[in-house]
C-alpha cells in the first residue's frame, strides 16, 4: 500500500508553486508537497490502469482479426499498451506506491480506468472503432500532459507514447475508411459508433462546473479542463465521422465556435444490450458516477486475466 505522503514529500505548497513559477519541472519526491504527490499518484494511476486494461480488451477483439497479419498489427498495439502501462506503474513505484499490490493484488473494483473499457469489444470492427475513438481520447489526454505537464519523468516518457498512440488511431482510421466502402461494413461501423461515441464523451469526466480535484489544473498536471478536452476530442473525431458518412450525435456550431452534443447527455446506458436509453432523457452525473463505481461487465474478467500469472507462479518479489 502507498506510504504516507506527508513523510515522502518534503516541500510546502508554496515551495512547489515557486518552483513551477520559475519554470522548473518536478523531478522526484524531493520536489513535491503532499498535495502534489497525492494528485500525481491519482492521475498516474488512472493513466496506467487505462493503458493496462486496454490490453485484455483489445486482445478479446483481436481474436476476430480477418487475417494473420491483421492479428499481428493488433498484437503490436497491445504490446505498446503494456509498455505504456509499465511507464506509469514504474513511476508510481518511484512515488512510494507498492507496484505489486497496485498491478497484481488490487481488487478489480479498485481499478481506475474509464468505464468504456468495461464494455466488451466483440469483433474486429469494434476493435478498429476503439482505435479511432478510445485511442484518440488517450491521445488527446496524454498530449495535453506531454505539453504542459510539470512532472519531468512522465513528461519525457510521453514523447514515445504519443507517437505510438498516433499509430493506434491511424490503424483505426485506415480500417474504418476501408470498411465503410461496403454497405454491410458501414452498417456495422455505425452500430459500434452508436454506443462507443457517447461512452467516449463520458470518458472526459464531469463538466467543469461540477469538477473536483482542482489541483490537476492548478499544478499543471493538465493544461485543458475536462470540457476543453472533450471539445478537442470532438474536433478530431466528428469531422472524420462526417467524412465517412457515419452519424454521430454532435456537430460544430459556428456561432459559438464549439461542438454541441445533440443527444441527452449524460444518459442512461443498458450495458447488457450496449444501448443508450436516450428516450429517457438526460440524467444527473451522480447516476453516471454510480454506474462507474459499480464498474461494468468485463471489469473482473479483464483484471483476472492480468493478475492470473502472478497469482499462479512464483514471480512475487521477496519481502
Q: Which of residues 117-146 bind Fe ion (CB under 5 A)?
A: 135
C-beta of 244: minimal distance to Fe ion in Å?
20
User: Considering CB under 5 A, how many residues would be counted as binding Fe ion?
Assistant: 6
C-beta of 170: minimal distance to Fe ion in Å?
11
Cell of 243: 467524412
C-beta of 310: minimal distance to Fe ion in Å?
21
User: Residue 302 in contact with residue 56, Cβ under 8 Å?
Assistant: yes
CA atoms within 13 A on the CB side of 157: 19
176 backbone φψ class: left, alpha, beta (φ>0; ψ -120 to 50): alpha
Residues 227, 206: Cα–Cα separation, whole Å: 8
Residue number with CB closer to Fe ion (33 or 143): 143
Residues 12, 15: Cα–Cα separation, whole Å: 5
Residue number with CB closer to Fe ion (168 or 222): 168
11 backbone φψ class: left, alpha, beta (φ>0; ψ -120 to 50): beta
C-beta of 268: minimal distance to Fe ion in Å?
28
Q: Does 49 bind Fe ion (CB under 5 A)?
A: no
Residue number with CB closer to Fe ion (16 or 192): 192
Q: Contacting Fe ion (CB under 5 A), which of 19, 31, 60, 84?
A: 84
Dihedral of the CA atoms 289, 295, 296, 300 (nearest 10)?
Answer: 170
C-beta of 162: minimal distance to Fe ion in Å?
10
Residue number with CB closer to Fe ion (162 or 227): 162
Footprint on this chain of Fe ion (rule: CB under 5 A): 51, 81, 84, 135, 165, 168
Amino acid at each position: 500500500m502507498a506510504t504516507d505522503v506527508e513523510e515522502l514529500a518534503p516541500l510546502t505548497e508554496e515551495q512547489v508553486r515557486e518552483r513551477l513559477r520559475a519554470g522548473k519541472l518536478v523531478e522526484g519526491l524531493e520536489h513535491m508537497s503532499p498535495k502534489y504527490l497525492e494528485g500525481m499518484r491519482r492521475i498516474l494511476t488512472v493513466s496506467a490502469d487505462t493503458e493496462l486494461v486496454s490490453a485484455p480488451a483489445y486482445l478479446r477483439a483481436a481474436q476476430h482479426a480477418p487475417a494473420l497479419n491483421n492479428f499481428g498489427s493488433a498484437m503490436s498495439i497491445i504490446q505498446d499498451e503494456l509498455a505504456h502501462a509499465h511507464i506509469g506503474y514504474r513511476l508510481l513505484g518511484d512515488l512510494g506506491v507498492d507496484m505489486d499490490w497496485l498491478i497484481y493484488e488490487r481488487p478489480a473494483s479498485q481499478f481506475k480506468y474509464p468505464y468504456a473499457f468495461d464494455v466488451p469489444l466483440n469483433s474486429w470492427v469494434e476493435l478498429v472503432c476503439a482505435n479511432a475513438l478510445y485511442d484518440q481520447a488517450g491521445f488527446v489526454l496524454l498530449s495535453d500532459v506531454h505539453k504542459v505537464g510539470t512532472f519531468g519523468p512522465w513528461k519525457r516518457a510521453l514523447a514515445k507514447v504519443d507517437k505510438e498512440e498516433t499509430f493506434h488511431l491511424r490503424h483505426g482510421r485506415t480500417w474504418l475508411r476501408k470498411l465503410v466502402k461496403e454497405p454491410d461494413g458501414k452498417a456495422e461501423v455505425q452500430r459500434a459508433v452508436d454506443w462507443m461515441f457517447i461512452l467516449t464523451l463520458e470518458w472526459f469526466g464531469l463538466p467543469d462546473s461540477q469538477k473536483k480535484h482542482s489541483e490537476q489544473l492548478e499544478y499543471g498536471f493538465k493544461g485543458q479542463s475536462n470540457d476543453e478536452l472533450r471539445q478537442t476530442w470532438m474536433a478530431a473525431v466528428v469531422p472524420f465521422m462526417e467524412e465517412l458518412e457515419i452519424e454521430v450525435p454532435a456537430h460544430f456550431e459556428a456561432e459559438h465556435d464549439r461542438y454541441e452534443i445533440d443527444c441527452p447527455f449524460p444518459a442512461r446506458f443498458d450495458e447488457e444490450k450496449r444501448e443508450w436509453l436516450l428516450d429517457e432523457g438526460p440524467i444527473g452525473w451522480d447516476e453516471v458516477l454510480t454506474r462507474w463505481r459499480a464498474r461494468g461487465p468485463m471489469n473482473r474478467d479483464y483484471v483476472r486475466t492480468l493478475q492470473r500469472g502472478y497469482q499462479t507462479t512464483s514471480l512475487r518479489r521477496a519481502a
